[in-house]
């Protein structure tokens, strides 16, 4: 898992005084303790993790920090999206107070996207904001949620409705941690990697196409390459548009339809798989509009299938329901929404020049 000869990669997220680095490679977690002492001194460190990651990686990290003489604590919460709420945030905050956390303490978010979102949100509001470092351990967290500074929790009315923009001080993507990640979760994360290839990097798409088997086998060189390329693209987009005014919208490729597929299935279809289907549907839409080629559409479907991702809209999700969810309610069906479409692999644009009829046709032809 660890390889001292491996050269770690570094990606910079440029955001003026909030700029930070992402370190990527097998074993970067082993470097955290030294960096904390040298670069990020704090009165105490709070590793926040979910119940799975806490057992697999949290205890070890805690022991390393402690043996390096740091005042460290490990707090965990039950794994799963159901924990991403204010109750968890308040309970963690109360635990931190009890363990003496002050304005100079630091949060270390060790886990998947759920942990990252909760822990960074907590850091952003604890005593009006304390420093936070992201230690993502799921592929989705490494290529997406740990970078960009969006934090938040869910409320019954909707996902991520309470949150902040709060940039971490650094991100450590230890690709070695992916060896214990359930395969299904890894494949979910791969949908986001394909997304980056589609919207901005023909080279990344080509790497995925040629090496999907090695990638599924977690070959470290390749995983490092695709995580680095994905982080570079997210960093570039976020640097230019921190708060989603313009460019950041391209990260929603496949997501507009993906979200309605997730919702229509009552979240039985996971985010990554819904995004995979969403990417196929919007690419079909672009094809119908004469803006994308049949050849590249086939390449996308083949790649997703090779990675074990779905490419068809399930028969039990009817088109009408998906359209209604897409346009939120029937009254706005006449209105327009923005779609991210690709003109070719690696190149995309945002348009609202899409008729409901075309969306229906695209969904129907992806059955
Ligand atoms: N902030 C953002 O910009 C952003 C972007 C995308 C998604 N998100 C959020 O991310 C969340 C989804 O993230 P996720 O898919 O990582 O979910 P998750 O955090 O629930 O992790 C998925 C599962 O994998 C387990 N896991 C994680 N790392 C592991 C490891 N190394 N070994 C073994 N098990 C491990 C977790 O315990 C969990 O059971 C959602 O809440 C979503 O809203 C946020
Ligand atoms: Zn996503």
Among 139, 161, 181, residue at a domain's last position: 181
**Ligand 1 atom at minimal distance to the Cα of residue 50:** 37
- Which ligand is located closest to the Cα atom of residue 144? 1
Give the per-residue pLDDT at 1.
44
User: Is 210 one of the catalytic residues?
Assistant: no
173 plus 193 within the same structural domain: no
Distance 348 CA to ligand 1 centre (A): 27
Q: Which two tokens stand for residue 288?
A: 């119908």
Give the per-residue pLDDT at 294.
98
Residue 233, domain CATH: 1.20.1090.10
Q: Which of 73, 259, 284, 301 is catalytic?
A: 259
Confidence class for position 5, pLDDT limits 50, 70, 90: low
157 plus 191 within the same structural domain: no
Give the per-residue pLDDT at 246.
83
192 plus 78 within the same structural domain: no
Give the per-residue pLDDT at 303.
98
Q: Is the pLDDT of residue 2 over 90?
A: no
pLDDT in tens, 196-215: 999 999 999 999 999 999 99
Q: How many domains does the chain have?
A: 2
Mean of per-residue pLDDT scores for the chain: 95
Proportion of the chain above pLDDT 70, given as a percent: 96
Q: Is the pLDDT of residue 330 over 50?
A: no
Give the per-residue pLDDT at 109.
99
Confidence class for position 332, pLDDT limits 50, 70, 90: low
Q: What is each CA distance from 116 to 50, 98, 108, 257, 292, in whole angstroms?
A: 10, 22, 9, 25, 36
User: Is 259 one of the catalytic residues?
Assistant: yes
Confidence class for position 333, pLDDT limits 50, 70, 90: low
Task: Calculate mean pLDDT across residues 106-120.
Answer: 98
The response to whether residue 149 sits with its C-beta less than 6 Å from ligand 1 reads no
Give the per-residue pLDDT at 331.
52
- Which ligand is located closest to the Cα atom of residue 272? 2
Q: Indicate whether 4 belongs to any domain.
A: no
Q: Indicate whether 1 belongs to any domain.
A: no
Domain housing 291: 183-367
The response to whether residue 206 sits with its C-beta less than 6 Å from ligand 1 reads no
Q: Which of 73, 225, 249, 252 is catalytic?
A: 252
Task: Calculate mean pLDDT across residues 125-130.
Answer: 98
Residue 24, domain CATH: 3.40.50.1970
48 plus 62 within the same structural domain: yes
Confidence class for position 21, pLDDT limits 50, 70, 90: very high
Q: Which of 209, 244, 324, 361 is catalytic?
A: 244
Give the per-residue pLDDT at 6.
64
pLDDT in tens, 335-353: 788 999 999 999 999 999 9
Q: Indicate whether 89 belongs to any domain.
A: yes
Q: Which of 131, 170, 255, 284 is catalytic?
A: 255
pLDDT in tens, 137-178: 999 999 999 999 999 999 998 899 999 999 999 999 999 999
229 plus 311 within the same structural domain: yes
Q: Is the pLDDT of residue 267 over 90?
A: yes
The response to whether residue 79 sits with its C-beta less than 6 Å from ligand 1 reads yes
201 plus 106 within the same structural domain: no
Q: Indicate whether 3 belongs to any domain.
A: no
134 plus 25 within the same structural domain: yes
Distance 60 CA to ligand 1 centre (A): 20
163 plus 195 within the same structural domain: no
Task: Calculate mean pLDDT across residues 187-201.
Answer: 98
**Nearest-angstrom CA–CA distance, 339 and 323:** 13
Q: Is the pLDDT of residue 270 over 50?
A: yes
Give the per-residue pLDDT at 243.
84
């Amino acid at each position: 898992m660890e390889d001292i000869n491996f050269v770690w990669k570094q990606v910079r997220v440029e955001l003026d005084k909030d700029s930070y680095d992402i370190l990527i490679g097998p074993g970067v977690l082993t470097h955290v303790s030294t960096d904390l002492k040298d670069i990020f001194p704090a009165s105490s460190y709070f590793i926040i993790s979910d119940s799975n990651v806490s057992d697999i990686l949290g205890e070890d990290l805690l022991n390393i920090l402690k043996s390096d003489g740091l005042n460290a604590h490990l707090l965990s919460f039950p794994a799963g999206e159901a924990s991403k709420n204010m109750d968890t945030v308040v309970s963690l905050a109360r635990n931190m107070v009890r363990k003496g956390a002050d304005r100079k303490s630091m949060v270390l978010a060790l886990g998947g996207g759920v942990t990252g979102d909760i822990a960074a949100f907590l850091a952003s509001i604890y005593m009006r904001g304390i420093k936070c470092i992201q230690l993502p351990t799921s592929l989705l967290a490494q290529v997406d949620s740990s970078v960009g500074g969006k934090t938040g929790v869910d409320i019954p009315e909707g996902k991520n409705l309470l949150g902040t923009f709060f940039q971490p001080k650094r991100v450590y993507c230890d690709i070695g941690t992916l060896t214990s990640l359930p395969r299904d979760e890894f494949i979910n994360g791969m949908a986001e990697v394909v997304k980056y290839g589609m919207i901005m990097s023909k080279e990344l798409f080509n790497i995925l196409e040629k090496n999907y088997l090695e990638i599924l086998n977690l070959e470290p060189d390749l995983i490092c390459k695709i995580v680095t390329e994905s982080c570079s693209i997210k960093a570039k987009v976020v640097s230019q548009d921190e708060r989603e005014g313009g460019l950041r919208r391209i990260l929603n490729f496949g997501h507009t339809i993906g979200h309605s597929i997730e919702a229509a299935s009552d979240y039985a279809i996971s985010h990554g798989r819904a995004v995979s289907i969403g990417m196929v549907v919007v690419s079909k839409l672009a094809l119908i509009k004469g803006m994308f080629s049949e050849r590249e559409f086939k390449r996308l479907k083949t790649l997703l299938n090779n990675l074990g991702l779905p490419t068809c809209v399930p028969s039990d999700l009817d088109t009408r329901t998906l359209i209604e969810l897409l346009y939120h309610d029937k009254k706005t069906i006449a209105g327009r929404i923005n779609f991210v479409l690709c003109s070719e692999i690696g190149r995309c644009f945002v348009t609202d020049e899409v008729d409901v009829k075309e969306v229906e046709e695209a969904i129907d032809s992806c059955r």
